Amino acid sequence: MRQDLKGQLILTIMFIVLGMLGLSLFLSHALIGRKFRDYIVEEEQRKTRNIAASLSQYYTALTRRWDTDLVHAVGMYALYDGYIIKVFDINGLPVWDAENHDMTLCYQIMAEISERMQKRYPQIDGKFISHDYGITQDGRKVGSVTIRYFGPYFLSESDFRFLDALNGSLLAAGLVSLAFAIAAGVFLARRIARPISAVIHITRQISQGNYAIRFEGRTRTQELDELVSAVNHLAGSLSEQENLRKRLTSDIAHELRTPLTTMGAHLEAMIEGVWQPTPERLQSCHEEAVRLGKLVADLERLEREESGSLKLNKTPVDLLELLRSVSANLEIDMRGKGLRCTVEGEPAGVFADRDRISQVAVNLLSNALKYTPENGHIRLSVKDSVKTAAFTVSNSGAGIPADELPFIFERFYRADKSRNRKTGGAGIGLAIVKSIVMAHGGTVNVESRPGQGSSFTVTLPK
Ligand code: ADP
């Protein structure tokens, strides 16, 4: 049978507590019972010895007489204690006999003791037994006493009261701790089960597409807190993915629609003879087609990088040498725009995928080329340190507004859409940079001051 977590916890705790309680009750009962019996047996022996000893005081050797009044007093005292005595003198003649003195009382007391003991301790199968003890005075035997009592041992009424009180308090202590244990179990179970139920509810909601749901508050249990924050995180990243997916689709549609419409309209006009198919017009259509081809290629590359399906082909790479060759490839473009480009720093070796890191440098440098105004300056620098190596691509120019900085690494993000459409970017270059750098376990940071320019720093582990 399947039970809920709360029920299981409460049942388990109750089971453990009941077991412990039963065990401790049993042990204490058995231990105390045995010790108490030992004590009672000892007490009996002490009493019988006492009776014989005190009787010896009431014999006067000189007159050879017993003080029968005092012997009677000892006898009655012993009788009320459950000891029926018979005192004999040295010749075996009776001096005092409890049964002779008051037979009814003797039988009444014996019956009471037997009944009590049979009722409470039927297993010991006790009965009245007699023992003879010598009565001595100054080492000389002066008589004897026969003592009858319930054997092997018996408990007086006050002994029974004491035992009952002891058992009662043990039971009470047990019940109180059981109540505490149940309360603690319920409390603990609630504390654990409640957040778990909440997490179940939240994950169900997430599976139905409600990504905005979050678990609020803390649980006061470390593992549950971790579970809850993992679920919250899951909801967060699913919602991000969902947004990204939606945006990606609409962005791609948007990116493709404008050039396709323009191209379609131009071609239609030329087919219908409205426009002459001049080389310039065909050239313009061709440029759009090339741009679309580039966009699709970029998308493909980004998809490959982000899915992580391609393995990194790592080899030792010198960042300084890599930057020099990348900047040399773009030199003609830079010169065309009147840009000054400097490469500085020390050789810095990393273990990386050369082609991919080249791609990173090309993307950053092409951006610098695009966004640096004419006659501006591009600076490439390399920095080597113990565990990492870094390179920075800085350029002069308008810079990126601070509120745009957090988004520029996102796909299709363009700081200034109208300006950038002219520069030809689709907002994918930096997303590719980020994917490649992250695949290498590195980081990419951007700093920018409006009016002064921007600088992108890529740090890679060695
Ligand atoms: P794009 O293809 O539009 O250049 P990127 O992903 O490479 O896409 O860059 C995203 C946006 O970040 C750009 O549209 C641009 O607004 C901004 N950006 C990137 N690099 C620079 C830079 N060096 N100077 C100024 N703005 C930049």
Span 118-128, average pLDDT: 88
Please say if the pLDDT value at position 136 is more than 50.
Answer: yes
* Alpha-carbon torsion, ordered 363, 365, 371, 376, to 10 deg: 180
Q: Are 307 and 439 in contact (CB under 8 A)?
A: no
Domain shared by 72 and 153, yes or no: yes
Look up residue 26 and give its two tokens. 């049993």
Q: What is the pLDDT of residue 1?
A: 62
Ligand 1 cavity residues, CB under 6 Å: 367-368, 371, 395, 397, 400, 408, 413-416, 420, 425-431, 454
Pocket test of ligand 1: the residue of 414, 433, 444, 457 to mutate, having most ligand atoms within 8 Å of its CB, is 414
Cα 371 to ligand 1 centre (Å):
7
C-alpha span between 52 and 86 (Å, rounded) = 11
**One-character DSSP codes across 161-216:** HHHHHHHHHHHHHHHHHHHHHHHHHHHHHHHHHHHHHHHHHHHHHHHTT-TT----
pLDDT band at 3 (very low <50, low <70, confident <90, very high): confident
Please say if the pLDDT value at position 38 is more than 60.
Answer: yes
What atom of ligand 1 comes closest to residue 414's alpha carbon? 14
- Residue 50: CATH number of its domain: 3.30.450
- List phi, psi (to 5°) of 149: -150, 170
Domain shared by 385 and 433, yes or no: yes
Q: What is the pLDDT of residue 156?
A: 87
Cα 207 from chain centroid (whole Å): 24
Residue with CA closest to ligand 1 atom 20: 367
Please say if the pLDDT value at position 40 is more than 50.
Answer: yes
Domain shared by 236 and 137, yes or no: no
Of 289, 309, 329, the position where a domain reaches its end is 309
Domain shared by 164 and 46, yes or no: yes
Of residues 345 and 301, more confidently modeled = 345
C-alpha span between 238 and 214 (Å, rounded) = 12
Q: Tell me, yes or no, whether 183 lies in a domain.
A: no
Domain shared by 439 and 379, yes or no: yes
Average pLDDT, the chain: 88
pLDDT band at 171 (very low <50, low <70, confident <90, very high): confident
CA-only gyration radius of the chain, Å: 52
Q: What is the pLDDT of residues 53-87, one digit of tens each?
A: 999 999 998 999 999 999 999 999 999 999 999 99
Q: What is the pLDDT of residues 253-276, one digit of tens each?
A: 877 887 788 889 989 999 999 989
Residue with CA closest to ligand 1 atom 19: 367
Q: Tell me, yes or no, whether 208 lies in a domain.
A: no
Out of 15-19, 90-94, 101-105, pick the least confident. Answer: 15-19
Q: What is the pLDDT of residues 206-226, one digit of tens each?
A: 999 898 888 888 888 888 889
Domain shared by 32 and 152, yes or no: yes
Range(s) of the domain holding residue 268? 224-309
Of residues 220 and 113, more confidently modeled = 113
Residue with CA closest to ligand 1 atom 7: 429
What atom of ligand 1 comes closest to residue 428's alpha carbon? 6
Domain shared by 239 and 120, yes or no: no
Q: Tell me, yes or no, whether 353 lies in a domain.
A: yes
Q: What is the pLDDT of residue 310?
A: 63
Q: What is the pLDDT of residues 343-387, one digit of tens each?
A: 999 999 999 999 899 999 999 999 999 999 999 999 999 999 999
Residue with CA closest to ligand 1 atom 16: 415
Domain shared by 273 and 287, yes or no: yes
Of 309, 334, 356, the position where a domain reaches its end is 309
Q: Tell me, yes or no, whether 257 lies in a domain.
A: yes
Q: What percent of the chain has pLDDT over 70?
A: 96
Cα 414 to ligand 1 centre (Å):
6
Residue with CA closest to ligand 1 atom 11: 414
Q: Which residues, 6+ apart, have CB-to-CB distance to 143 below 8 Å?
A: 55, 59, 66, 87, 88, 89, 90, 95, 134, 135
Q: Tell me, yes or no, whether 201 lies in a domain.
A: no
Q: Tell me, yes or no, whether 281 lies in a domain.
A: yes
Of residues 207 and 306, more confidently modeled = 207
Q: What is the pLDDT of residue 260?
A: 87
- Residue 433: CATH number of its domain: 3.30.565.10
What angle is formed at CA 412 by the lines to CA 409 and CA 418, rounded to 5 degrees? 110
Q: Are 368 and 381 in contact (CB under 8 A)?
A: no
Residue with CA closest to ligand 1 atom 8: 427
Q: What is the pLDDT of residue 134?
A: 94
Residue with CA closest to ligand 1 atom 13: 414
Domain shared by 350 and 418, yes or no: yes
Residue for token pair 């579970």? 227
Cα 427 to ligand 1 centre (Å):
7
Span 302-310, average pLDDT: 72
Q: Are 102 and 70 in contact (CB under 8 A)?
A: no
- Nearest residue to 100 (alpha-carbon basis) of 111, 113, 87: 87
C-alpha span between 445 and 356 (Å, rounded) = 18
Q: What is the pLDDT of residues 391-447, one digit of tens each?
A: 999 999 989 988 888 888 987 777 665 444 455 567 788 988 998 999 899 999 999
How many separate domains does the chain show? 3
Pocket test of ligand 1: the residue of 430, 437, 454 to mutate, having most ligand atoms within 8 Å of its CB, is 430
Q: Tell me, yes or no, whether 78 lies in a domain.
A: yes
Of 265, 292, 309, the position where a domain reaches its end is 309
Cα 35 to ligand 1 centre (Å):
91
C-alpha span between 193 and 3 (Å, rounded) = 12
pLDDT band at 299 (very low <50, low <70, confident <90, very high): confident
Q: What is the pLDDT of residue 339?
A: 93
C-alpha span between 394 and 392 (Å, rounded) = 6
What atom of ligand 1 comes closest to residue 431's alpha carbon? 6
3-state secondary structure of 392: strand
Please say if the pLDDT value at position 305 is more than 50.
Answer: yes
* Alpha-carbon torsion, ordered 203, 205, 206, 210, to 10 deg: -160
Task: Return the H-helix or E-strand segment holding 256.
Answer: helix 222-271
What atom of ligand 1 comes closest to residue 456's alpha carbon? 23
Q: What is the pLDDT of residue 162?
A: 87
Residue for token pair 């003592």? 147
- Residue 269: CATH number of its domain: 1.10.287.130
pLDDT band at 124 (very low <50, low <70, confident <90, very high): confident
What single-letter amino acid sits at 454? Answer: S
Domain shared by 249 and 302, yes or no: yes
Domain shared by 21 and 170, yes or no: yes
Span 150-175, average pLDDT: 86
Domain shared by 166 and 22, yes or no: yes
Alpha helices in 272-384 (DSSP H): 279-307, 319-329, 331-336, 354-371
Mean pLDDT comparison of 124-138, 177-191, 417-431, highest-scoring range: 124-138
Q: Tell me, yes or no, whether 203 lies in a domain.
A: no
C-alpha span between 386 and 462 (Å, rounded) = 8
